[in-house]
Structure 1
Amino acid sequence: MTPWKRISEMDVEGALDELGTSPGGLKEAEARDRLEIHGPNEIEFKKPHPIFRFMKQFQSLLVYVLLTVAIFTAFIGEWIDTAVITGVVVLNAIIGFIQEGKASEAIESLQKFTESYSTVIREGREMRIPSGLLVPGDITVLGAGERVPADIRLIESKNLHVDESALTGESVPVEKDPSTLREEDILRGEFRNILFSGTLITEGRALGAVISTGRETELGRIAERVKEVDVKTPLLEKIDEFSRTITLAVVSLAAFNFIAAILFGYDAVLSFLASTSLAVAAIPEGLPAVLTVTLALAVRTMAERNAIVRNLPSVETLGSVTVICSDKTGTLTRNEMTVKSIYAGEVSYEVEGVGYSEDGYITLNGSRIKEPPEPLLRILKCGLNCNNASVADERIHGDPTEAALVVAAHKGGVRERARRVDEVPFDSTRKYMAVLTEDGLIQAKGSPERIIGMCSHELTESGLKPLEKDELKDRIHEMASEGMRVLAFAEKRHSGTEIHDEDLTDMTLLGFQGMIDPPRPEAIEAVGKCKSAGIRIIMITGDHAATAGAVAAELGIETSRVLTGPELSSMETHEITKSLDDCNVFARVTPDHKYTITEILRENGEIVAMTGDGVNDAPALKMADIGVAMGSGTEVARESADMVLADDNFATIVAAVSEGRNVYERIRRIIYYVLPTSGGQALIILLSFLLAPVSPTFSASLPLLPLQILWINMFDGVFLALPLVAEASDESVLEKPPRDPGTGIVDYTFIRKVGLVSAAMAISGLAVFYIGVSRGLDVTVARTVTFTTVILVHVFYLLTARSLDKSVLRIPPANRWVATGIIITVTVTLFIVYVPGLEVIFRTSPFPSEWWGIIIPFSLTGLLSIEAEKYIMGRLKHE
C-alpha cells in the first residue's frame, strides 16, 4: 500500500505522528536531514547525452554493413572508397542528430522555467521556500489558484475544492476535507483527505502535512513507470525487417560471387574487390539519408501545423495507426464547464455557446429569449449571486462550475450581483451553498436532492405551486442522462442579518441548470475524418459514465455501451479483450486501466496512438505505438510522448494522420525507385563474373568499379530519389482504410518492379560494355560508357517511378524538383566524362560523341519495362 493510502485511514493526530511532525512544523535541522535522505522534490527526466544521441543514429543494419565494407576497402588500400562510404554514413547520422535535436529544443520551449514556491510552517513560523526543498513532514499552507507541490495529508480545510483532471481525467473539481477515511471510501477510490502533487486548488484554503515528495509521489510513481516502457515504431520495425532482407541478400550474393570467382581461377584480391563491388552495388547507400530527409521534411511540415515530432519515424507511425485512444477532458473537450440547459417555471430552455465566451443566447424551441420570464430571470440571478467565481475576457477565477453559472447569467442579460450580507459556504456535508443579499433574500444552490428537500413550493410562470417531487426527479434524470451535471436553485425571504442551516426551510424551488464540459467543435470534425480514414476512436476518461457517454454521442463516437473502471477491475484479461470488440467508451478508469487497454490493443495487432495531457495518460502514451501529448499538459505527459501538439488542437491529429500516410507513400515510392537501381548494378557485377568463362570481355575487367557504383548510388539518392519527396500529396488519403500493419515493405509488387528494372539495367550495362570492348574501346572508356548508361537508365526510370500505377504520360508535370534533379545529374555526369581533372577521382575517360547514339536507346530500358508492366497490370485489374 502506498504511504498516502495508509495515512488516509489515520486521524489527523495519528497522521502527524506517522510523519514525525507537528502543527508547528519541522525544525530547520530536521528538514535538512530529511532533504538529504529523500532528495529534492523534483521529478527528473534524464535527457540522453548528445554523444549517445549521435551514436543512436548508427543503429541500422544497413549502416553496419556499409561500415564493414569500409573496413575491408581500407584493408585492401582503396582509401577513396573508404572515405566516401564513411562520409555517407556520417552524413546520414548528422542529419538525424540535428532533426532530433531541433525537436528536443521545441519541447523544452514549452516548459515553464519559473521556479515555484510553497508556503510552509517551520519552527512555528510561516515562510516561503522553493517547492523543490519540501520534505516529508513539512506543514504547508495552500490557497485557491495554487498547484499542489507534493502528496499532502490534510490537517485543516475551508471550502476546499481541487481540480484533479491532470491526474484522474475528471473535469469537475472535487471537494476535500481532513476527515478520516473509511474502508468503503477507499474502495470507491475517494481520497478526499489527500492532496496529490500536480493538482490545482480551485477554491478554499488548506493546511496539510507533506507525505511524499519527488519520485515518491503518485505523479512521480507514474513518471518512473513510464521510463520502463520502450516501444519500437512500425516504420522502424519495417525498416529493420527490410534491412535484414537486404543484408542477407547482399552477403549471400557477395559470398556466391567470391566463391564463383575463385572457382573460375581469378586472383583472390581481384575476387574480393569484385565481391566488394557487388556488395557496394547492392546496398542502397543513399537510402538511409533519403529516408531521413523525407521524415525530416515531414517533421518540418508538422511543426508548421503545431505538431512537434520528437523522433523522426513518429510522423509516419501516426499515418499507420488503426486505433486512437483519446482522453476526454481537454483533448476531445474544451475543459470548460458550460450551462447547456435550464429548467425554470416548468419550461426547459437551451443555452447556446460553449466555454467561458459570452457568445450565444438562451433560447426556447430554437428562438432567442430577449426578455427573460420571471422564473428564468430569478434562477439566473440566484446562480450569479450564490457564486464566488468571476469571468473576464473568457478567463475564470474560481470554480469552473460557478464560472459556468456566471456566463449563463450574462447570456440572459443578468450582470449585476446583489451585495452579499452573509453566507453559508458549501461543504460535503451540506451539499449546498447559500447567501443572504442586502434586499433580504436567501438564495441557495446545491445538489438537487438537498435543495428539493428544503423546498415546499415551486415557482411557475403563473405563480407558486406545491412541489411534485416525482415529476422533478424525472426532469433531473432526463438532464443527467444527457451527461449533464445538474444543480438546483431556491430562494426565500428573510428578515435577519445572518443565516444558518435551520433558516433554509420552506423555500421556493426556482429550477435546475444542467452543464457539461462541451466537445471541441474541431474535435467533432476530426472524429468524422478519422472514421472516413478507417481509424477507430476509443475514449478513455476518468469522468462519469453518463457524461462520457453523452460527450461520445455528441462527438460521433459510436459504442455499444460505456464500461467503467470498477467493471474493468472485476474482469479477466480475456474478458477485457472481448469487450474491446464493440466498446469504444471507458469511464472512471485508472492509469492502470488505460495502460492495460492500450497493451491489449497492441497485442491484438492494432497500431495504437494515445492522446492526452494529464499525468494519468503517461504510461499509455509510452506504451502506445505513438503517444500524442498536449503542449499545455503536464511535463510527464510531454516527456512520455512521441509527438506534442503545441496548439492542444485534436484536429491537428487529422493533419498528422494525413501527413503520416503521405509520408509512407513517399517512402514506398523512394524505395521502389532506389532498390531496382541498386539491384541492377549488383546484377551487372554478378553476371559479368558468370559470363567470364564464356566471354573474354568480362574475364579481364569489371564493367563498373566500386567507387563508380558508390557515386551513382549516392548522387542518385540525393538528386533523383530525393525529388520524389516533393510529389504532390494524395488528397484522398483520408478516404482510404489504414494499411495492414502486417504488410511489409517487400511484397509481390516490390519484387516484380525490382526484378524488371534490375534486369533491364543489367542488360543495358553489360550490353554497352560488351559492345564498347568489342569495337576496340579502351577498357576505361568502355567502363565510362557503361557508367553513363547506368546513370541515364536511372534518369529515365525516375520519370515513371513518380507513380506506382499511372503511366508516365498521365503523371502531372508539377514537380519541378524532378526536372531540376535530372538537369543537375546529366550536367554533373558530363563533367565527370569530359573534364580531365575528374578522371583521376572517378577513373573515367571521354568517349566519342557517336556513342550517344548507343547509350540513349539502352538508357530507355528501365522506363519501357515499367511502362509495359503498368499497362499489363492495369488491364488485368480491370478484367
Structure 2
Amino acid sequence: MNFLKTWFGNFLRSRHTAKHFGRRALLETVAGRGLSQPVPEHLSRDLLRAARDDLSAALVQLDSHEDGLSAPEAAALLEHYGPNEVEHEKPLAWWLHLWQCYKNPFNLLLTVLAVVSYLTEDAKATIVISTMVVLSTLIRFVQEGRSSRAAERLKAMVSNTATVIRRDLGTEAAEVAERYFEAHLHTRRPPSRQEVPIRELVPGDHVVLSAGDMIPADCRVMTAKDLFVGQAAMTGESLPVEKFAERRASSDSVLEQSNLLFMGTNVVSGSATALVVATGNRTYFGMLATRVTATDRTPTAFQAGVNSVSWLLIRFALVMVPIVLLVNGFTKGDWMEAFLFALSVAVGLTPEMLPMIVTSTLAKGAVLLARRKVIVKRLDAIQNFGAMDVLCTDKTGTLTQDKIALERHTDVFGNSSEEVLKFAYLNSHYQTGLKNLLDRAVLEHVELQTELKLEQDYRKIDEIPFDFERRRMSVVVSERDDHHELICKGALEEMLSVCARVRIENGEGPQEHALDEAMLARVLEVTRRLNEDGLRVVAVAMKEIPASPNAYSVADEADLTLIGYIAFLDPPKESAAPALKALNEHGVTVKVLTGDNELVTARVCSQVGLPADDVLLGSQIERMSDEALAHAVDVHQVFAKLTPLHKERLVRALRAKGHVVGFMGDGINDAPALRAADIGISVDSAVDIAKEAADIILLEKSLMVLEEGVIEGRRTFSNMLKYIRMTASSNFGNVFSVLVASAFLPFLPMLPLQLLVQNLLYDISQIAIPFDNVDSELVRKPLRWNPGDIGRFMLFFGPVSSIFDIVTFALMWFVFKASSVEQQTLFQSGWFVVGLITQTLIVHMIRTPKLPFIESRAAWPLLLTTAAIMAVGIFLPMGPLHDYFKLQPLPLLFFPWLVAILLGYAVLTTAMKKFYIRRFGWQ
C-alpha cells in the first residue's frame, strides 16, 4: 500500500516535475524550509573571503581585471567552469527516464506474473506478458520523451540575459579606438557593455545591475548606489536589504554580508556593478538545489486533483481485490490461480497510462499554445490556465497600445514649455536604472542632445534611483562645472510632497511663487484636466545646489521647485474591447490593477468597455480590514494608484474567495502578485524577476492571445478528464462484473493472461485522447478538478457496463452452453470480445455530453486507434493466435448477439448520460 501511495502521490513530481523544476519552485521550497540545510564549508569559506578581501585582491583571486574580462578569457572560463545553471534544471539521463517509465505498479505486477509463468513452465504466457511490459514501458518512454523535448524547446524560447562589462581586445578596431581615447580625451576607452545569456556568465565577469534584474550568480558588490535587494527566499527577511561596495557586517554568516549578492535574489531599487564570484552549482543557491528535491514541494492544485482521483481508485482496489481473491479461492479451490487472477484485477484497477496521458496531453497543449505565441514554463500550469475565472492585469500595454507618446510638455499652468522638456530629457538621459516607456518617449527627442550640448556643458554627478514607495527619481548634474542641479521627476502627488515653490513664466522671465493652498488648487485643476483627456501626467521639479563632494540621497529631494509637467498618451488597443468581451463570454472576469491614477485609468477603461464608475484606490485598500477587502474585490473591477503590496493583497483576497486567479504583469512591481496568483503571466519583454515568477510567458502582450490560451488550456484539461472518467467507470464496471461471475461460475470468467491483454489493448486505444476534439460548449466556462464528481460518475456509469457483462454471461451460459469447465474457453472468449469492445466504445460514449458520432465526432487519430483495437479484439479469438491466449473461435451466431448487446449498451449509456446531465451537469 505504501508503495502504491508513493507512486500515485508523486508520479507527476518524479521525472516530469523534476525535469521542469524551475528557480521559482526552488525558491518557494527554500523559503518554506527556512534554510535549515547546511552549506558545504568550502563554499562559505570562499564567499566570506570574497566579502573580506579588498576589491583588487578579489579581482586577482578570480583572474579578472578592473575593466572586466575579454571575450576570449570569458570563453576559456566557460569551458572550464561550465554553464551557469543549477543541477535541478537539467534533464534526466535517458536510462534513468527509461527506469522511471518501467517502475510503476502495472509493470511490476506484470513482471511478477511473468516470473510466476516462467517458474510454472508456461512459456507462451511468459512471452506475452513480457511483451506487454516492454510495450507499455516503451510507449511511455517515447511519448514522454517527445513531450519533454517539446517543452524544453519552448522554454528555450524565453531566456534571461545579463549586462556584462567586457574588454574588446585583440581586434584592430579596438586598438584604434584605444589610441584615440588616450590621445584626444586623455583617458582610457571605457569597456563595452554587452547582453549575454545568464548561462554564459563566468567567475570574474563584471555585471551591471538595476531595478528589476535577477542576481544571475553569487557576486561581490563593486559599486552601489542606493542598492536594495529582495532576498526573502534566501533569508526569510520580508523587507529589501541594502547592499554596499564595502563590507559592513561583523557576523561571519554568509547571508549577512552587506557586499555579497546571491543567485536567485533580485534588485528592488538602485543600481550596482558586481563581480561574479561563483556560478552554477557552486553558488549558494546551487548548493541548496542539490539538497532540495522536487518531492519536497507542496502539490499544486493540479497535482492534488490527480492524486485524489488516483487514491479513489486505490481505495476501491484495496476493498475489491481481496474480495475477488477470497471468492475465487473458496469457490474454485485453486488459490494460486485465484491469486494471479486477483493480481490481474489489481492491474485493471491501476490507471497505469495516467502519467503518459497527462504528460502527453499537457505537452501537446503547450505546443499548440506556442503556435499562439504563448510559452508554457511549467506544464501543469495549463490546468490552472483553463480553470482561471479572474484575470488581474495592468492597464499599460495590455488595454493600451504600449506605444507611449510624449503628447505635451507644459508649465505649471498648462502652457507649452520647452524648458520642462529639456529638464525631463536631462533626467531620462542620465539615469542608469530601469528605463521605462515614459523615459523612452522622452528620449525620442534626440534633437535635444545637440541643443543642450550634453557632452560640453553637462556632467552627471550622482543619481537617486526610483523606488515604488517614493515613485520618483532624481539625477544631479553639473552645468559647466559651475553648480549642481538636482532634477527630479515622478508621480504628481509624491512630487508635490517635496516641492515648496512653483516656477511661473511671464513676460519678465521666470519667477518663483510659493506653493500655497491657492496655487496647489490651481496645479491640481490643471493636472486633472490633463488626466481627463486621457493623458498620464509626470511632474518635473528641480533645485540648484552648491557643488559638493558628498554623495546625494533621498533626503536631498526636498524644498524643490515645480517647473511643469510632461504628459503622455497611451491610446487603447483596438483589440482590447473584443478581447475583454470574449474573455467574459468564456467566464473570465478581467480586473484592472494599476499604479496609475484613477482619472486616466477610468478614461481608458471606459473606452474599452470596462465599468469604471467606482474605482478603488490603494489608499482606501490600506484602511480596509481583510473582511472588507474580501467584499470589495468582488464588487469592484478597477483598482488604481496601487503599490506592489496592494496588488499582492488583492490577488490573495480573490484566491481566498475561491477564485482561480491569473495575474498578468511585466514589471518589478508585479513580481509579488505574480507569485501570489494561481497562474503568473508575463511577457518576453518583461524584467527578469517578472519572467522568473511567471508560469506563462506571452510573446505578444495581448488579451486576445490570452483568451486563445485560456481556451486551449480548457481543451487540454477536458481531454485529461476524459481519460480519468473512462478509466474510473470502466474499471469499476469490470470489477463488479468479475465479482458476480466469480460467485456463480465454476471456473474463472477470464484467465489472468486474457484480462491483462484486454487491459493493455484498452489502454493503447486511449493513446490518441490528447489529440481528440473538444466540444465548444465544454470550454465556455472555467474547468476545475472535482474528485467528488469523478467518484459519482464512476458509480453511475460503471454498473451500466456490468449489466451487459451479465447479459453476456447469460448468453454464453444458456445460449451457447458454455456452462462447464470443459467449455470455459468459449465462455472466456465471448466475454473477452464483449468486454474489450464495450470498454473501447465507452471512449466515444462519454467523451462528449452530445450524441456520439452524430452530434460530436472524435478526432481521426482516436477513431482509428479505437477501431483498430476493436478489430484486434475480434481477431485474437478468431485468428491463428487464439491458442497463444487460450481463446477459441466464436460461432458466427455470436456476432448478431454482439451487435444487439452493443446497441443496447449505447442506448442505455445515452439515457444514463441524459439523466446525469439533468441532475449534475457535465463539466
Indicate whether 1:236 and 2:293 are aligned. no
2:150 to 102, 105, 111: 102
**CA drift at 1:256:** 0.6
Paired amino acid for 2:759: N
- Matched with 1:562 is 617
In structure 1, the residue corresponding to 2:828 is in which secondary structure? helix
| Number of positions where the alignment pairs a residue of Structure 1 with one of Structure 2 | 760
- Matched with 2:893 is 850
Paired amino acid for 2:739: L
Q: 1:166, 1:634 within 8 Å by CA — same for their partners in 2? A: no
**CA drift at 1:715:** 2.4
- Matched with 1:683 is 736
Indicate whether 1:485 and 2:537 are aligned. yes
**How do 1:229-268 and structure 2 match up within 5 A?**
230-264=297-331, 266-268=333-335
**CA drift at 1:539:** 5.8
- Matched with 1:663 is 716
**CA drift at 1:250:** 1.9
Measured against aligned partners, the alpha-carbon deviations of 1:14-36 in whole angstroms (never above 9, x if no partner) come to xxxx97677x844754667999x
In structure 2, the residue corresponding to 1:251 is in which secondary structure? helix
Q: 2:224, 2:244 within 8 Å by CA — same for their partners in 1? A: yes
In structure 1, the residue corresponding to 2:855 is in which secondary structure? coil
CA distance in 2, matches of 1:101, 1:798: 29
**How do 1:665-744 and structure 2 match up within 5 A?**
665-692=718-745, 699=746, 701-719=747-765, 721-722=766-767, 725-731=770-776, 735-736=780-781, 738-739=782-783, 744=788
Paired amino acid for 1:305: R
CA distance in 2, matches of 1:434, 1:597: 40
**CA drift at 1:759:** 2.8
1:46 and 1:768, CA in 2 relative to 1: closer, same or farther beyond 3 A? same
Q: 1:677, 1:761 within 8 Å by CA — same for their partners in 2? A: no
**CA drift at 1:258:** 1.2
1:45 and 1:330, CA in 2 relative to 1: closer, same or farther beyond 3 A? farther
In structure 1, the residue corresponding to 2:315 is in which secondary structure? helix
In structure 1, the residue corresponding to 2:388 is in which secondary structure? coil
1:226 and 1:47, CA in 2 relative to 1: closer, same or farther beyond 3 A? closer
1:272 and 1:666, CA in 2 relative to 1: closer, same or farther beyond 3 A? same
Q: 1:154, 1:208 within 8 Å by CA — same for their partners in 2? A: yes
In structure 2, the residue corresponding to 1:92 is in which secondary structure? helix
1:31 and 1:669, CA in 2 relative to 1: closer, same or farther beyond 3 A? closer
Q: 2:503, 2:510 within 8 Å by CA — same for their partners in 1? A: no
**CA drift at 1:464:** 12
- Matched with 2:164 is 116
**CA drift at 1:201:** 14
| TM-score relative to the length of structure 1 | 0.67
**CA drift at 1:817:** 3.9
CA distance in 2, matches of 1:126, 1:40: 29
**How do 1:345-744 and structure 2 match up within 5 A?**
400-405=437-442, 418=451, 420=453, 422-423=457-458, 453=501, 455-457=503-505, 469=519, 472-478=522-528, 479=530, 484-487=536-539, 512-515=565-568, 526-537=579-590, 543=595, 553=605, 556=610, 561-563=616-618, 585=639, 589=643, 605-613=658-666, 624-633=677-686, 638=691, 641-647=694-700, 649=702, 651-692=704-745, 699=746, 701-719=747-765, 721-722=766-767, 725-731=770-776, 735-736=780-781, 738-739=782-783, 744=788
Q: 1:766, 1:786 within 8 Å by CA — same for their partners in 2? A: no
Q: 1:533, 1:734 within 8 Å by CA — same for their partners in 2? A: yes
Measured against aligned partners, the alpha-carbon deviations of 1:456-491 in whole angstroms (never above 9, x if no partner) come to 43599xx9999994564034441468782324699x
**CA drift at 1:255:** 0.3
CA distance in 2, matches of 1:619, 1:219: 23
CA distance in 2, matches of 1:622, 1:466: 47
1:110 and 1:249, CA in 2 relative to 1: closer, same or farther beyond 3 A? same
CA distance in 2, matches of 1:618, 1:765: 63
**CA drift at 1:690:** 1.1
Indicate whether 1:869 and 2:912 are aligned. yes
- Matched with 2:37 is none
Instruction: Return 810-819 or 225-234, whichever deviates more.
Output: 225-234
CA distance in 1, matches of 2:640, 2:219: 27
In structure 2, the residue corresponding to 1:484 is in which secondary structure? strand
Question: Which structure 2 residue ranges, 5 or more long, are not aligned?
Answer: 1-49, 70-79, 119-124, 169-186, 193-199, 233-241, 247-258, 465-472, 543-560
Paired amino acid for 1:297: K
Q: 2:501, 2:562 within 8 Å by CA — same for their partners in 1? A: no
1:788 and 1:345, CA in 2 relative to 1: closer, same or farther beyond 3 A? same
Measured against aligned partners, the alpha-carbon deviations of 1:632-669 in whole angstroms (never above 9, x if no partner) come to 44566555554333445554332221112222222333
Indicate whether 1:792 and 2:832 are aligned. no
**How do 1:11-50 and structure 2 match up within 5 A?**
25-26=56-57, 28-29=59-60, 44-47=85-88, 50=91
Paired amino acid for 2:719: R
- Matched with 1:764 is 808
In structure 2, the residue corresponding to 1:486 is in which secondary structure? strand
Instruction: Return 607-616 or 381-390, whichever deviates more.
Output: 381-390
**How do 1:319-334 and structure 2 match up within 5 A?**
319-324=386-391, 326=393
In structure 2, the residue corresponding to 1:116 is in which secondary structure? strand
CA distance in 1, matches of 2:661, 2:292: 17
In structure 2, the residue corresponding to 1:264 is in which secondary structure? helix
Matched-pair identity in %: 17
- Matched with 1:824 is 868
- Matched with 1:748 is 792
CA distance in 2, matches of 1:874, 1:141: 60
CA distance in 1, matches of 2:624, 2:352: 52
Paired amino acid for 1:703: P
Give the CA RMSD over aligned residues.
6.3
- Matched with 1:277 is 344
CA distance in 2, matches of 1:798, 1:711: 18
1:526 and 1:238, CA in 2 relative to 1: closer, same or farther beyond 3 A? same
Paired amino acid for 2:568: M
In structure 2, the residue corresponding to 1:515 is in which secondary structure? strand
Measured against aligned partners, the alpha-carbon deviations of 1:807-852 in whole angstroms (never above 9, x if no partner) come to 347514474445433542343334323331x224333222332322
Q: 1:290, 1:717 within 8 Å by CA — same for their partners in 2? A: no
**CA drift at 1:708:** 2.6
CA distance in 1, matches of 2:525, 2:412: 13
CA distance in 1, matches of 2:507, 2:436: 28
Indicate whether 1:306 and 2:352 are aligned. no
**CA drift at 1:729:** 3.5
Measured against aligned partners, the alpha-carbon deviations of 1:546-587 in whole angstroms (never above 9, x if no partner) come to 69966984774867523369x76x988778767756577486
CA distance in 2, matches of 1:342, 1:764: 86
Q: 1:621, 1:641 within 8 Å by CA — same for their partners in 2? A: yes
**CA drift at 1:244:** 1.0
CA distance in 2, matches of 1:735, 1:691: 48
